[in-house]
């Protein structure tokens, strides 16, 4: 009698997880949650930064003040400004900025800021340690300045959306 009970107990304990619709849903939810928690569906500014740029790095730290885009040749200011509340104040900041021995700083376009976010999202920032995440001023060819941020949506889609704001920092670019 003990032998049959032991065999039944062993059969029950080695039985696979029941393949019901509910259990498949729970398993799928667990896999998706694990993926997002381990893959980093979060801000790129939390990624680790290497000491030396790799061959695929788009940004290279020129010095403590500047990072250069290896594709466009443009330079980004590492330190951002204090919070500014108007386009005029943001433009004045770049006009008077003297970083890295350069005097031709300007506000980036919305597209240039977006490209900076993408460089960090793709982990192509090399040894550049600037904090790209945030709300920044931009200026367009039509001289209509904007302030806002490029943010991931709530679903962690791989695309960013521009959200207008009322105040922000300047992350200057040249030329």
- Condensed to tens digits (0 to 9), the pLDDT of residues 5-36 reads 555 555 554 455 455 555 555 554 454 544 44
Residue pair 100/68 in contact by the 8 Å Cβ criterion = no
Is pLDDT above 70 for 2? no
Burial grade of 136 (CB within 10 A; 0-12, 13-18, 19 or more): buried
**Angstrom distance (rounded) from CA 86 to CA 93:** 11
In this structure, what DSSP letter does residue 51 have? S
pLDDT band for position 74 (cuts 50, 70, 90): very high
Q: Take residue 161 and report the two structure tokens written for it.
A: 């959306």
pLDDT in tens, 51-68: 455 667 899 999 889 999
Query: N- to C-terminal Cα distance for the chain?
Result: 87
């Amino acid at each position: 009698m003990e032998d049959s009970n032991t065999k039944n107990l062993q059969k029950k304990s080695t039985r696979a997880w029941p393949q019901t619709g509910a259990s498949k849903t729970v398993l799928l939810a667990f896999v998706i949650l694990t993926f997002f928690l381990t893959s980093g569906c979060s801000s790129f500014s939390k990624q680790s930064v290497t000491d030396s740029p790799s061959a695929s790095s788009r940004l290279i730290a020129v010095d403590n003040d500047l990072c250069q885009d290896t594709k466009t040749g443009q330079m980004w200011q590492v330190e951002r400004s204090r919070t500014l509340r108007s386009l005029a104040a943001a433009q004045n900041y770049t006009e008077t900025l003297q970083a890295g021995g350069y005097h031709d700083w300007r506000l980036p376009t919305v597209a240039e800021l977006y490209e900076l976010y993408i460089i960090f999202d793709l982990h192509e920032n090399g040894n550049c340690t600037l904090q790209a995440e945030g709300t920044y001023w931009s200026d367009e060819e039509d001289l209509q300045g904007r302030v806002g941020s490029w943010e991931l949506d709530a679903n962690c889609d791989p695309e960013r959306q521009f959200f207008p704001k009322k105040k922000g920092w300047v992350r200057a670019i040249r030329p």
